[in-house]
A and B are shown apart, each in its own frame.
Chain A
Amino acid sequence: AQSVTQLDSQVPVFEEAPVELRCNYSSSVSVYLFWYVQYPNQGLQLLLKYLSGSTLVKGINGFEAEFNKSQTSFHLRKPSVHISDTAEYFCAVSDYGGATNKLIFGTGTLLAVQP
């Protein structure tokens, strides 16, 4: 079984500052990893995903994440945030090659960008 831990429930940051949202996962098999973003009162939008290959993954809106297998982490980064990045961010894991490919989510991190 897989699980995801997002230790930071909320991350306040000033506009144009860099940000890192942390995600750690647990799995006994190889995994696919995802970051989703949810803007207020909206559904979920895929930000980026790691399936295989390069451990540095670039996504939409200037976000990127790095897969670190030894530390079982998939932290999300952005070098300079905007007010419009204020949203909740969810890390998710899916088993690689499994029959179900269930997508399991972390509890989310609210990114609050202040002017």
Chain B
Amino acid sequence: NAGVTQTPKFQVLKTGQSMTLQCAQDMNHEYMSWYRQDPGMGLRLIHYSVGAGITDQGEVPNGYNVSRSTTEDFPLRLLSAAPSQTSVYFCASRGQGARGYTFGSGTRLTVV
């Protein structure tokens, strides 16, 4: 039981490049979310999903896409990276009836 696994742990991108941040959970959780953490701003919700095939926007969705084709995986795509997307990204999941999320260890992304 690995919990929530995020890959990669670190990434450096050039402006305009695209990439996908991976998130996988093995707890059969229905709810999954992506957050970004920036100094002094806490964690802000980017996108979330209430189940396979269902996604919705959070507080700061611009510049990011998501899809949820399986219960286990919830990848976050940056189509054209910008320096403003330099941040630490966290994926989280929550099971039905469980009111606290389990967080992954994060991906530190730098866009130069």
Which residues of A are interface residues toward B (Cβ below 8 A)?
6, 9, 32, 34, 36, 42-46, 49, 51, 90, 94, 99-108
Contact = CB atoms under 8 A, between A and B. Distances in A.
Secondary structure at the B interface, as helix, strand, loop or mixed, is: strand
B44 interface: yes
A102 B33 contact: yes
Contacts of B48: 100, 102
30 contacts: A6-B42, A42-B105, A43-B90, A43-B103, A43-B104, A43-B105, A43-B106, A44-B43, A44-B103, A45-B103, A51-B99, A90-B42, A90-B43, A94-B99, A99-B50, A100-B31, A100-B48, A100-B56, A101-B31, A101-B94, A101-B99, A102-B48, A102-B58, A103-B92, A103-B94, A104-B45, A105-B35, A105-B44, A107-B40, A107-B42
Interface residues of B, number: 24
Contacts of A94: 99
Interface of B: 31, 33, 35, 40-45, 48, 50, 56, 58-59, 90, 92, 94, 99-101, 103-106
Contacts of B92: 44, 103
Given A102-B45, A103-B101, 8 more contacts: A34-B99, A49-B99, A51-B99, A90-B43, A100-B48, A100-B50, A102-B33, A103-B33
Between A45, A49, A107, the greatest number of chain B beta carbons within 10 A of the residue's beta carbon is seen for A107
